[in-house]
Amino acid sequence: METKLTKLLGIKYPIIQGAMAYISESALVSAVCNAGGTGVIGSGGRGADWVRSEIIKTRQLTDKPFGVNVVLKDPERDDIIAAICETKVAFVTMGAGNPGPYFKILKDAGIKTIPVVPNVRLAKRVEESGADAIIVEGTESGGHIGLMTTMALLTNVIPQVKIPVIAAGGIADGRGIAAALLMGAAGVQMGSRFLLTDECQIHPNVKDKIIASTDTDTDVTGYSTGMMVRGLRNDFTKEFLKLERTGASVEALNELATGRNRLSAIDGDTKNGSVQVGQSLNVLTEIKTVQEVINELMEQTVTTLESANALLGS
C-alpha cells in the first residue's frame, strides 16, 4: 500500500506505532518496523543516555527506518535531541510544546520532523515552519489528550495543509485505518493496539486489565490543570477526580499524579497506577505478535476499502 506517508518514510504500510512512556523501546519498535510499519521510541521519563542506548539496540534488531518521540516540556529535551541528531534516526515526533525551534537542528542532521498538532491554526504554523508531516490526535486516544475528536480534526485540518496528515486517537483496527485513509489521511498512528503484543514490555497485569475492560471504562483526569490524561478507571483516577472536583491546586494534583504511569507500566500496579489506553477497548481482546497484529490490520483495511467501493456499485 502506497501513501504519502509510506513514501515519506520509506515503509511498507502507513502505520506508525505511537510513542508510549516506559513502554516504547527497542523490542517493540523494531518488531513494528520489521512487520512493515514504523516504530517510535518513547523518550518520556527517560534521559539522553537511555535514548541513545535504545537507538543503538533498535538498529541491531532492524534495518528499517524508525523514529523517536520528544516531549518538548521535558527539561532534558535539548540533550535528547542532541543524542537523536548524533545517531541520526529517520524521524522525530514531537508534542507538548513548541517544535519550531528544533526543526532546523533536526533537518540539518537529515531527520524528518512530525509534530503533533491539536488544531488547524497550529497545523498551518508548523507547515510554514518546515514540518515534513503532522499528527492530529483525537481525544479518544490514551495518555495525554486534547478536546477535539479524531474525525473533527481530520475534517478541519486535512483541507488546510499540503503536507501529509497522520490520524491518531481511537484507531485500533483496520476499519479505523480505512476510515482515516478515506478521509484523506496519509496514514495512522496507533498506540493502544500494540500494548497487547508479545513484544511489548509493559507489565502483564496491564495487558490483563485492558483485555478485561470495555468501551466505557476510561476516565479523563486533569481538565482543571490543562494536562488531560485518559486511562482506565481505577483507584487512582477516582482519587484524582475526587480531589480535582474539590478545586485542589495544580501543584497538589500534579504531586498526586507523579510517577503513576511508571507504577502501572513497570510495576504492574493497575489499581494505583495510570493505565493509559484509548477508548476503542472492545477490539483489544487478545495478545498476539506484532507481525500478526499488522497482518490482521492490513487485511481488515483492504477488506473495508473494498466494501467502500461496493457502496458505489463498482
Beta strands in the chain (DSSP E): 15-17, 40-42, 67-71, 91-95, 112-117, 134-137, 143-144, 165-168, 187-190, 218-221, 229-232
Give the mean model confidence (pLDDT) for residues 291-300: 97
- Looking at residue 310, its pLDDT comes to 82
Least confident range of 85-89, 170-174, 207-211, 309-313: 309-313
**Quick check: 314 pLDDT over 70?**
no
DSSP 169: S
**Quick check: 84 pLDDT over 90?**
yes
Amino acid letter for position 209: K
- Looking at residue 101, its pLDDT comes to 86
Helices (H), 100-214: 100-108, 120-129, 150-157, 174-183, 204-211
User: pLDDT-based confidence at 226, cuts 50/70/90?
Assistant: confident
The more confident residue out of 179 and 21 is 179
**Quick check: 186 pLDDT over 90?**
yes
CB 191 within 8 A of CB 172: no
Diameter of the chain measured on Cα atoms:
59
**Quick check: 140 pLDDT over 90?**
yes
- Looking at residue 96, its pLDDT comes to 79
- Looking at residue 312, its pLDDT comes to 81
Q: Where are the domains of the chain?
A: 7-201+285-293, 204-265
- Grid cell 490483563 is found at 208
What CATH fold (topology level) applies to the domain 7-201+285-293? TIM Barrel (3.20.20)
Nearest to 278 by CA among 234, 241, 229: 229
Residue 294 CB contacts under 8 Å (≥ 6 apart), including other chains: 13, 15, 32, 35, 36, 37
| Cα distance between residue 164 and residue 132, in whole Å | 7
- Looking at residue 75, its pLDDT comes to 84
**Quick check: 23 pLDDT over 80?**
yes
| Cα distance between residue 219 and residue 239, in whole Å | 12
CB 69 within 8 A of CB 42: yes
Beta strands in 106-252 (DSSP E): 112-117, 134-137, 143-144, 165-168, 187-190, 218-221, 229-232
Burial level of 82, CB count in 10 A (0-12/13-18/19+)? middle
- Looking at residue 137, its pLDDT comes to 95
Q: Please give the model's pTM, rounded to 2 decimal places.
A: 0.93
**Quick check: 313 pLDDT over 80?**
no
CB 129 within 8 A of CB 158: no
pLDDT in tens, 147-177: 999 999 999 999 999 999 999 999 999 999 9
User: pLDDT-based confidence at 43, cuts 50/70/90?
Assistant: confident
Mean pLDDT of the chain: 94
Burial level of 159, CB count in 10 A (0-12/13-18/19+)? exposed
The more confident residue out of 225 and 32 is 32
